Amino acid sequence: MSRIISFSVLLILSTLVHAEPKVIFDSGRTTNADRYLSPEQKPSFPKRKPNITSLITPRTPEMSVGKVERRNVELPYLPSPLFLVGTDKISINWLSQHRQALIKAGAVGLIVNSKSASDIQHVIHTAKGLQISPASGSDLAKQLNLHHYPILITRTQIAQ
C-alpha cells in the first residue's frame, strides 16, 4: 500500500517538474535566447508546406443543409449578425435572396462546408458586398446546438 502512495507522489511530482516556464518579469527589452545558442543547440523542425486546400475547404460534420426552426437566444456580446452557409445550391439561393438584408444589417458570414476552392469562390462572388470567409462552424454548432444551415444568428434569435 505504501508503494502505491509513494509511486503516486512521485508521479505527481514528476509532472510538476516538467511544467512550462512562466514569465515573471518582462522589462520590454527581452531578447530571444536563440542568439545565445549554437546551431547544434537550436531545435530544428522540419519545414512542411502548409496544406492550403484544407484551410480553404472547411468541413463542419455537425451541420448539414436543412430547415432551421426560428428560436430566441440571448447573445448580448455578439458584435454583429452572423450567417452560416455552405457551397450547396440551397445556401447559394438563400444568400442571393437575403443578400441586401444581410448587407443592411452588417452581417458577417462563414462558409462552413465546402468541397473545393472553386465552390468557395462561387459563394464569395454571390456574397458580393458582404464579409464572408471559409471556416469550420463546429464550435458554434456545439455551443448553440446548431444542426443545419443556411442560418442567421443575431443577438436575440436564430433563424433561417
Whether residues 71 and 141 fall in one domain: yes
Instruction: Express each pLDDT in 57-96 by its tens digit.
Output: 888 999 999 999 999 999 998 899 999 999 999 999 999 9
Domain with 67 in it: 56-159
Residue 28 DSSP one-character state: S
Instruction: Express each pLDDT in 110-156 by its tens digit.
Output: 999 998 888 998 999 999 989 999 989 999 999 999 999 999 999 99
The model's pTM: 0.66
At residue 10, the 3 state secondary structure works out as: helix
Number of domains in the chain: 2
Long-range contact set of residues 36-43: C-beta below 8 Å, sequence gap at least 24: none
User: 114: domain CATH number?
Assistant: 3.40.30
